Structures are given as C-alpha cells and as structure tokens.
Amino acid sequence: MAAELIAQAGREVASETATAEMANLQGVRVKSVAALARQSDLLLVFGGDGTILQVARDMAGASAPILGINVGRLGFLAAISFTDLPDALQKIWKNDFIIEQRALMRASGQCLGKPVVCHALNDVVISHGAVSRLIELDVSVNGQQLTRYRGDGLIISSPTGSTAYSLSAGGPIITPDADVLAITPICPHALSNRSVVVSSKSLVEVKLISQRIETIVSTDGHAQTGLGTGEVVTVQKARRSLNLLHPGETSFFETLRRKLHWRGSYV
C-alpha cells in the first residue's frame, strides 16, 4: 500500500534490495540501507522500535529523516500506526510535518584488548554474561568518581532511550529535547543507588573491577563485545544525530499517556 500511495503522489519509490524482494516491490532497488538513506528524501520504516534502531545503525550517519510506522507493540519511536499512513503521507506532501533531531551516543574503549567504537540511539549497557553474578563497576564523570556499582550492570541512556531499558530498571523519563544522559544501575546491590542525570557534554567512564566474570558491552540491545578486568568504556554524546519525522503536530506527553496507558485527571 505504501508504495502505491507514494507512486500515486508522483514520487519515486526506492527500496533496499532485500526488502524489495521480500515484499515484491517495484521501482528502484538499492543494495544497502546506507546507500538508500544517502539517495532518499525520506525513509519509511515498518516495524517496532527495534527495527528503527537497526535502521539507525545501518544508515551509517546519513541524514535522511525516518518516518516510523508501528506494526509492533509499544513503538515509542514509530510516529504513526499503519492505518494512519494515508493521512500521514498527505500531510507530508503538504509540508505539514516536523523533523526532530535525536542525539546519538558514542561508546569507545579497549575491550578484550582490542579497540572498539560503536554508536547507540537508546543506550549503552554493561552487564554480566550468561551466568547471573554480580559485577562491580567503577564509574567516573568528567574525571571525577561517581561511585562503584555492584549489581547486574549499568545502563547509560540518551533521552530517547529513557523510555526503553532504562525505564524498566527504574530510570527517569526524559523529554527528547533535554540535553542530558542518564546513568541507571541494573538491580543494584545497594538500595541507595539511584539513577543519576548528567549533562550530555559529560564524559562517562565505566571501569570493570570484577575478575573472572563474563561481562558484555551492548548498544541498543545489540551485543558488541566482551569487557576484561581493568578495561574502561567511555560514553559520550556523538557528533551526529538521527532525524525522526512526525506528520502534523506531535506531543511527547500525549505519546507517554497513550503508550504507557496512564490514567488520571489531566486537561
């Protein structure tokens, strides 16, 4: 349906080759998501938040805006439902939309003796491996020690990621335009440990203290590498960002109420 609506509006339909073959789409076929993003004015991404996160990784820094069409469950990043797509496209053709810049994070360090650099839209997570054992992490912000966490791990999230894993771990909900990062422990052994919100200009360093415990570094739920005792992962705001398109007016707070099924009195 989407391809037909785009063609009817006099726009050119292009798609990544694997998607075109799966959906039997006509039109221009491009080998990779990164190449498609470089050649397109708008990317339509069908799925849930996980699909959008995957596309964000595959875009390799291209600036084309993404319109997320939710065919999953919660879908905080997906702007509209599939049934709303015809109306949404009409608004886009009339230039009735906003483009929201979402900050990316950059994680780097020596992991198992090898240099690693990766990017995340939602979060960077340092956690134990398959064996459920407490790990000990020493955390510093801008060279000043924050604390030493003992627990299942640590989540460093962007404002976008505040409604993902961080929220499940008791972290704060942060509006997308806030220029901050949240540091949230996962099942901390000390009840006094709570989330800490720092400026996005901060340099967050996490050092693994534990010995002989498998520890994993993952970005947006995608496992990247292991982490060895004494090794440090540095997390900071990345230079590049992701552009999300919203047809018409949008409200983050209305999305919260609807997605989280909040009830109560409000105007």
Q: Which residues are catalytic?
A: 49
State the DSSP H helix or E strand holding residue 254, giving kind and residue range, or none if neither: helix 252-259
Pick from 13, 18, 11: nearest CA to 3: 13
* Max CA separation in the chain (angstroms): 61
Instruction: Give the count of beta carbons closer than 10 Å to the beta carbon of residue 49.
Output: 24
Distance from C-alpha of 165 to C-alpha of 155, rounded to nearest angstrom: 8
Distance from C-alpha of 66 to C-alpha of 244, rounded to nearest angstrom: 5
Pick from 195, 154, 164, 197: nearest CA to 178: 197
Upper half-sphere CA count for residue 219 (Cβ side, 13 Å): 22
**Tokens matching residue 196:** 């800490």
- For every residue of 27-65, DSSP letters joined together read SEEES-HHHHHHH-S-EEEEE-HHHHHHHHHHTTT----
